[in-house]
Chains A and B, each alone.
Chain A
Amino acid sequence: MGCSGRYLSGLGVATLGLCAAGWLALTPYASGDRGRGPHAAAVTDLATGGGLAVVSLITLVSWALAWRRKLRTDAALPPSRRQARREARERRGTDGGGAPDPDRVLSELRTLLAPLLPEPPDAQDEPEGIAALESMLAGAGLLMTGGGEEEAW
């Protein structure tokens, strides 16, 4: 029966309940038995039918909504308009925060790359690794300032 079996059974039983409610509401008129006294069968049927109709309707709507939500979760249905709008807003919020500050990015990059370089043998001569790193960062800075207008970081 698969995953949809539980939703189908719920919808089926709710529909059956709705039909039974209609039948109960119509039976006293169809059979001509309008009932006598407060405990007559017709009064019971009408009251039970009315209550059953309300409950069946609520159950039917609940199962339909639960199934729709499940299908949306499994991506079998496209997201609702409200959900799509919310996702688009969230995407704009993360993307559209403006380009990050190049100086801050470079300093973070410098901090991240520094531990990867070998320790200089002695502090006297200028370490080649630091120089290479500085030239690399300068190149990255040039790239960022050059392409900053076109590319959103």
Chain B
Amino acid sequence: MNRIALGGLAVIFGTGAWLVAAPFVLRYQPAGTPWTTATRTDVTVGAILAAAGFAGFLAALAGRVRELYAEADQGTSEARRIESLVHDL
């Protein structure tokens, strides 16, 4: 489930990048002319999506890493507690 969720964020980032590039790749923005309304819309929406997707992906990844660290700390303290109990016995 987490992989699908993270993958979804990556796809959203990719879609944003595609929207920024689409007018120039598909050549509906003629070179050397002022940007059309469609180009402006696509580039703006694409930039927002790409930035949000990238930030969201990084935030989700950082949260997962923080969870892993917390689990590792919990496991270590639990092991120390068991070790001290065994030592007391």
Contact = CB atoms under 8 A, between A and B. Distances in A.
A13 B12 contact: yes
A5 to B, nearest CB: 6
B49 A44 contact: no
Q: Size band of the A side of the interface?
A: 35 or more
Nearest to B3: A62
Interface SS of A by simple majority: helix
Interface in A2-36: 3, 5-7, 9-10, 12-14, 16-17, 20, 23-24, 27-28, 31, 33
Interface stretch (A48-56, A97-105, A117-125, A134-142): A48-56
A56 B8 CA distance: 7
A10 B9 contact: yes
Nearest to A24: B45
Contacts of A7: 63
B11 to A, nearest CB: 5
A55 B12 contact: yes
A48 B22 CA distance: 10
Nearest to A14: B8
A108 B48 CA distance: 71
B75 to A, nearest CB: 16
Contacts of A84: none
A52 B12 contact: yes
**Ordered nearest first, which 9 A-B pairs have the shortest CB separation?**
A6-B63, A59-B8, A13-B56, A41-B38, A62-B5, A9-B59, A39-B26, A6-B60, A62-B4
